Amino acid sequence: MWQGRSLWAEIDLDAIACNARELKKRTGGNSRLLAVVKANAYGHGAVMAARAAAEAGAEYLGVACADEGAELRLAGVSLPILVMGYVAPWEADKVVTHGLTPTLTTRQLALALAALAAQRKLVVPVHIKVDTGMNRFGLAPRDTAFFAQFVRTLPGLKAEGVYTHFAVADEADKTFTREQFRTFIDTAEGMPWIPCRHVANSATILDMPEMCLEMVRPGISLYGAYPSRQVQRSIKLKPALSLKSRVARLHDLTPGESVSYGRTWVADKPTRVALVPCGYADGMLRCLSNKGSVLVRGQRAPIRGRICMDQFMVDVGHIPRVRADDEVVLIGRQQDEEITAEEVAGLAGTISYEIFCGISPRVPRVYLKGGEVVAVETLVEKVEYSAS
């Protein structure tokens, strides 16, 4: 087993592959799968997650900005990559050089791409985004047909997709989502030459598979978490990420002794605390101070005192035989206990997405396949092991 910093994220690539296959099945097998790997694949490692999804049948990747797409290309990823967020016109060169598929919503970008396409004698695929009610990004439905027609007149561009994004697909009441879907379908009907329509994020695939169309865009579900508590557990997802650490120090407290900055926790009886070398700079939210717990020897050890930038303390007074270097699980399973990212998010007043994305580059990523370590990424090394 890999040994390094006493804090690491284990990413089970088989879980990502398995989730990708289940999601594909849920679409009826008729929709192409675009694996959303933005934000370093929600903290899971964009390159490795992209490869795992590709091996499981993903045909497209989705990122938020052109730089994320370029990162994948530089690592040798060859699937088409849709940049789902705003791309400024001066980023056109990066888009074309790295063979990315931008989301088009402005004439400025369209013209910049068309000029480069003419120069380099190639065709740039683009997707057009319609804003059907999120009021975030995309063209107003009434402007979309005109814009699509304009794009059609530019020889270097090929509009291969049109899409929208839902505001409340993860809530129980689907009324607004059905309205957004209807608006989208009506808008897309005005541009029948665009072959690929897509609207479905994870919540939509799980709850409304009838909206899967030609392509789907799952993110959080690929990584094994449900988008919200309201979403049906219509397929079984496997959590891919575990966040683990090791006990760095043990020491005993007498009643009246306090722990950490601000002295917000004071022992009321003799107990023992363990130091966990993980802090808010690693993604352990400071608002979990004196809340939440971790797993040590298969039992819950409550967080005591404030979480610091690089470390925090837990109470292990009730857990027998705890030793220095014992494994600590912050997210994941240990023996019969499990702490999910959803549980941590609930305590912190946020969503699992933010917990995953918050796991910083300082935390080594250890990638597993068939239970074996196949790759490790730390601040100072990037190693791949060939399968034995």
Q: Which of 48, 54, 56, 61 is nearest to 19 (CA)?
A: 56
The reply on whether position 239 binds ligand PLP by CB under 6 A is: no
Complex with ligand PLP: residue 103 or 260, whichever CB lies closer: 103
Question: What number of other Cβ atoms are within 10 A of residue 231's Cβ?
Answer: 20
- Give least dist CB 386 to ligand PLP, A: 32
Concerning whether 261 is annotated as a catalytic residue, the answer is yes
Separation between Cα atoms, residue 212 and residue 32, nearest integer Å: 9
- What is the enclosing helix (H) or strand (E) of 44? none
Q: Please choose, out of 22-30, 140-148, 200-208, 250-258, the segment that lies near ligand PLP by the rule CB under 6 A.
A: 200-208
Sequence letter at residue 296: V
What are the CA-CA distances from residue 296 to residues 3, 347, 371 (Å)? 19, 19, 21
Q: Which of 31, 33, 42, 17 is nearest to 365 (CA)?
A: 42
According to DSSP, the residues that pair with 36 across neighbouring strands are 62
Separation between Cα atoms, residue 299 and residue 124, nearest integer Å: 55
Q: From the candidates 24, 60, 261, 280, which is the catalytic residue?
A: 261
Cα-Cα end-to-end distance for the chain: 14
Q: What's the chain's Rg over C-alpha atoms?
A: 23
The reply on whether position 165 binds ligand PLP by CB under 6 A is: yes
The reply on whether position 84 binds ligand PLP by CB under 6 A is: yes
- Give least dist CB 36 to ligand PLP, A: 4
- Give least dist CB 281 to ligand PLP, A: 25
The reply on whether position 201 binds ligand PLP by CB under 6 A is: yes
The reply on whether position 164 binds ligand PLP by CB under 6 A is: no
Residue nearest to ligand PLP (CB): 219
362 phi/psi in degrees, rounded to 5: -70, -20
Place of tokens 């240990």: 334
Helices 66-74 & 46-55 angle (0-180, nearest 10): 70
Q: Please choose, out of 24-32, 66-74, 197-205, 366-374, the segment that lies near ligand PLP by the rule CB under 6 A.
A: 197-205
Complex with ligand PLP: residue 351 or 363, whichever CB lies closer: 351
Complex with ligand PLP: residue 283 or 364, whichever CB lies closer: 283
The two three-digit tokens of residue 89, written as one number: 């016109």
Complex with ligand PLP: residue 293 or 352, whichever CB lies closer: 352
The reply on whether position 202 binds ligand PLP by CB under 6 A is: yes
128 phi/psi in degrees, rounded to 5: -105, 135
Q: From the candidates 38, 94, 129, 244, which is the catalytic residue?
A: 38
Concerning whether 238 is annotated as a catalytic residue, the answer is no
Among 36, 53, 157, 301, which residue interacts with ligand PLP (rule: CB under 6 A)? 36
Q: Which of 337, 291, 270, 283 is nearest to 309 (CA)?
A: 283
- Give least dist CB 230 to ligand PLP, A: 13
Q: How many residues of this chain interact with ligand PLP, rule: CB under 6 A? A: 13
Complex with ligand PLP: residue 127 or 297, whichever CB lies closer: 127
- Give least dist CB 82 to ligand PLP, A: 9
The reply on whether position 332 binds ligand PLP by CB under 6 A is: no
- DSSP 3-state assignment of 93? helix
Can you say how many angstroms the Cα of residue 375 is from the centroid of all Cα atoms in its chain?
19
Separation between Cα atoms, residue 117 and residue 122, nearest integer Å: 5
Complex with ligand PLP: residue 44 or 244, whichever CB lies closer: 44
- Give least dist CB 132 to ligand PLP, A: 12
Complex with ligand PLP: residue 40 or 202, whichever CB lies closer: 202
Per-residue string for binding with ligand PLP, 205-234, x by CB under 6 A? ------------xxxxx-----x-------
- Give least dist CB 249 to ligand PLP, A: 38
Vertex 67, ends 191 and 215: CA angle to 5°?
35
By annotation, the residues acting in catalysis are 38, 261
Q: Which residues bind ligand PLP (CB under 6 A)?
A: 36, 38, 84, 165, 201-203, 217-221, 227
